[in-house]
């Protein structure tokens, strides 16, 4: 089966993400440098060449013909399905960066607070840490270019800081608590990037693994996490794919195979021609093939996430918990073009083992309405009410043990968990989007670093409390940044605000391994529900 290249920007607010998700998800086959042979399209190619040549030779003003070609390609593809896409050479390398297990850069986690790039963490052992960059540093220049106070945006930062391994970049920083700037020259290096961001014992005998994408090293990371948790007494697994927009198909197949025994089907694909039609089955002995599994999904779980969830559901191997997944089941073949750009051309559809199509409905040429599908789901009430989702009986399928599942787009969970509206009040959202909570938690960490680092994570979770004094400081900081205090919203979201503050401070000390145990326990409804479903997951595993 081919590899999949699929990525999404993952943010919390449902309506904001919905506008960008469709264009950011890609599933593809193995990368190839070959180009298709033009047959029936030859007359159209000649016609297009004639038009382009006439413009180049005769048009009254000078034109950039390469730019015209890019525009023509993008407009042409708009008449096809929503996931066939053209990626320019400049965009290509970074579009897959987070899936490759690492990237070339300076090794910092950053945020943009009050129009200033702030270092949240210098990655341990990375180029920046070795050069003297520290958490809390404000980056005001990059190679003599002023980057503070210019509304730079995340892309502007990465454009300047990423670069080929071995190349150098000079940044000017103001260390936290200092007044004078300092120039630091950094030699870029290879920065590892994990896709398993948390793996811990959520309860006695219950392990938890959070996978944020299916990258080149995801299977190895997943298996390592399984082995660690098994060593800690794990008897059942909560596998969190919420917000996971997908990735390489090979990683999804291998992870599913680790959890599915025998030679059961994992996924199939069907194209117009036999060369794009295939079936993938389990083939290796996994280390967790019989124990209970619960998989968490939501409306942002897409493509490779849906392959894994569908394979485990249709094989009666896991209890699926959460909300209906995104519905991305079209296969793209990456075709490298002569200038280094790439065409990702849809060549097949994916099907779960029971025969369900994962792909949600679409109308060719109407990609704008497709991109707003999640908004429509939200407005229709699907995030909150299971009975707002209606399936056609003609799309009903059954698993080997007789469980009813439905096709028609996405994976419908076995246990529906509504979105918690108290996570989405205007006041809570404003604290996050204004970066108030990020600024507060980072500043708190910098001011109390020694005492925080004297904790173990277990001690921190048990002993550290977000009290009224800290909440008052957050409110005051928000008001200084234009966030109007809303008493009713605050009461509704108070427990989530407290959990987010505690979790973000923990992330400053222990990275994501500190964030998720704190945040999940209060503000992840699917996780909380899964902790109560051990008996059902065990009963399902017993029928496997």
Residues identified as active-site? 303, 314, 328
For residue 26, the SS3 value is coil
**What is the separation, in whole angstroms, between the first and last Cα of the chain?**
25
Cα 27 to Cα 3, 214, 342, distances in angstroms: 8, 11, 13
CA distances from 439 to 37, 94, 364, 528 (A): 55, 27, 44, 28
User: What does the block give as tokens for 113?
Assistant: 């607070």
Contact 412, 406 (CB under 8 A): yes
Distance CA 203, CA 330 (A): 38
Residues 6+ apart with CB under 8 A from 26: 4, 5, 6, 7, 83, 85, 95, 246, 303, 332, 344
Task: Return the residue matching tokens 């029936």.
Answer: 40
Provide DSSP, 309-347. Answer: HHHHHHTT--EEEES------EEEEEEE-TTS-EEEEEE
Q: How far is CA 5 from CA 85, 99, 250, 344, 390, in A?
A: 12, 8, 10, 10, 31
502: tokens are 């505690």
193 alpha-carbon distance from chain centroid = 13
Instruction: Please name the residues in contact with 12: beta carbons below 8 A apart, sequence gap of 6 or more.
Output: 423, 432
Q: What span, in angstroms and rounded, lies between the C-alpha atoms of 72 and 420?
A: 44
Find out whether 215 and 248 touch, Cβ atoms under 8 Å: yes
CA–CA gap between residue 196 and residue 218 (Å, rounded): 7
Q: Tokens representing 471?
A: 């909440």
Q: Which long-range contacts (CB under 8 A, 24 or more apart) does 88-92 make?
A: 88/341, 89/339, 89/340, 89/341, 89/342, 92/340, 92/341, 92/342
For 193-281, list the strands marked E by DSSP: 196-203, 206-211, 236-240, 265-271, 278-281
The answer to whether 220 touches 228, Cβ cutoff 8 Å, is no
């Amino acid at each position: 089966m081919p590899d999949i290249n699929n990525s999404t920007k993952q943010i919390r607010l449902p309506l904001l993400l919905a506008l960008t998700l469709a264009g950011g998800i890609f599933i593809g086959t193995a990368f190839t440098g070959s180009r298709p042979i033009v047959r029936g399209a030859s007359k159209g190619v000649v016609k297009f060449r004639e038009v382009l040549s006439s413009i180049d030779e005769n048009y009254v003003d000078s034109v950039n013909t390469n730019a015209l070609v890019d525009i023509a390609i993008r407009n042409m593809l708009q008449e096809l399905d929503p996931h066939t896409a053209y990626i320019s050479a400049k965009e290509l390398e970074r579009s897959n960066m987070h899936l490759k297990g690492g990237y070339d850069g300076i090794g910092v986690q950053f945020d943009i607070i009050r129009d200033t790039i702030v270092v949240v963490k210098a990655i341990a052992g990375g180029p920046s840490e070795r050069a003297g960059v520290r958490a809390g540093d404000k980056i005001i220049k990059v190679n003599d270019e002023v980057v503070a106070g210019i509304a730079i945006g995340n892309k502007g930062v990465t454009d300047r800081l990423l670069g080929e391994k071995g190349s150098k970049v000079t940044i000017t920083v103001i260390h936290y608590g200092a007044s004078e700037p300092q120039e630091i020259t950094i030699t870029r290096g290879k920065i590892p990037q994990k896709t398993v961001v948390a793996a811990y014992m959520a309860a006695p005998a219950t392990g938890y693994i959070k996978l944020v994408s299916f990258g080149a090293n995801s299977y190895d990371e997943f298996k390592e996490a399984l082995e660690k948790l098994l060593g800690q007494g794990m008897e059942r697994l909560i596998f969190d794919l919420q917000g996971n927009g997908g990735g390489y198909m090979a990683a999804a197949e291998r992870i599913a195979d680790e959890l599915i025994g025998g030679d059961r089907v994992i996924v199939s694909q069907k194209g117009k021609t036999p060369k794009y039609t295939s079936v993938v089955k389990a083939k290796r002995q996994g280390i967790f093939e019989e124990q209970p599994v619960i998989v968490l999904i939501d409306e942002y779980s897409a493509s490779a996430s849906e392959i894994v969830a569908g394979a485990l559901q249709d094989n009666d191997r896991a209890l699926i918990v959460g909300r209906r997944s995104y519905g991305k089941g079209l296969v793209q073949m990456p075709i490298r073009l002569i200038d280094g750009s790439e065409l990702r051309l849809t060549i097949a559809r994916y099907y779960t083992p029971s025969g369900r199509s994962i792909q949600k409905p679409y109308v060719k040429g109407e990609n704008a309405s497709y991109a707003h599908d999640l908004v429509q789901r939200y407005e229709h009430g699907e995030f909150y009410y299971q009975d707002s989702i209606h399936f056609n009986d003609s799309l009903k399928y059954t698993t080997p043990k007789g469980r009813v599942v439905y096709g028609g787009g996405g994976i419908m969970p076995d246990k529906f968990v509504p979105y918690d509206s108290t996570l989405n009040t205007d006041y809570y959202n404003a604290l996050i989007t204004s970066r108030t909570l990020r600024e507060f938690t980072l500043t708190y960490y910098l001011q109390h670093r020694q005492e925080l680092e004297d904790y173990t994570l277990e001690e921190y979770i048990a002993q550290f409390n977000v009290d009224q004094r800290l909440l008052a400081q957050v409110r005051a900081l928000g008001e200084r940044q234009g966030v109007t205090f809303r008493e009713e919203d605050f009461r509704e979201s108070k427990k989530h605000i407290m959990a987010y503050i505690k979790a973000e401070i923990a992330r400053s000390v222990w990275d994501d391994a500190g964030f998720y145990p704190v945040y999940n326990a209060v503000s992840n409804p699917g996780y909380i529900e899964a902790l109560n479903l051990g008996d059902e997951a065990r009963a399902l595993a017993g029928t496997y």
